[in-house]
A = this chain, B = another copy of it.
Amino acid sequence: MAKVRHSRFDCSPGCSVEVAIGLIDGKWKSVILFHLLGGTLRFNEIRRQIPGVTQRMLTNQLRELEQDGLVDRKVYAQVPPKVEYSLSPLGRSMEPVLLALKTWGDANIGLYGKPDALRQADVKAA
């Protein structure tokens, strides 16, 4: 995959923000990380906790998180496959970010998480 999203070191002050956001962007990564805050989960456990994510997407996102060193992937060589995902120390260090995101979301979900009808009205009004 070899994504090189943050190759620069020119870094005006906002650059570190860019680095951080670069690791948790994508529709699902932050949500996956958030669920992993609660402890180790298996592939399908994560899948069930995030309705709407497809297998392929979940695989992709987990692989990227693994490559970026945020999650650990532990494969048990069993016959019904078993793979456990957990936060690496680096991933756990994301906790403040994740919690800030959650807090903000909880406070403001009324504005954006509404059923489509309202969202549409909002769009039209703009």
- On A, residues with C-beta under 8 Å from B are 2, 4-28, 30-31, 34-35, 49-52, 67-69, 90, 93-94, 96-109, 111-116, 119-120, 123, 126
List the B side residues contacting A23 at CB < 8 Å.
Answer: 112
Interchain nearest-CB distance for A105 vs B (Å): 3
Most chain B Cβ neighbours within 10 Å, of A15, A22, A90: A15
Chain A: interface secondary structure? helix
Most buried by B among A26, A31, A112: A112
| Chain B residues, Cβ within 8 Å of A2 | 123
Instruction: Assess A104 versus B94: contact at CB under 8 Å? Given A14-B34, A18-B31, A21-B24.
Output: yes
Which of B8, B19, B49, B69 is close to A14, meaning CB atoms less than 8 Å apart?
B49
11 contacts between A and B (CB under 8 A): A14-B35, A15-B109, A16-B104, A16-B105, A17-B34, A17-B101, A20-B30, A67-B126, A93-B104, A96-B103, A97-B104
Q: A91 to nearest B CB, angstroms?
A: 11
The distance from the CB of A62 to the nearest CB of chain B, in whole angstroms, is: 14
| Shortest distance between the CB of A31 and any CB in chain B (Å) | 4
- Chain B residue contacts of A116, Cβ below 8 A: 4, 7
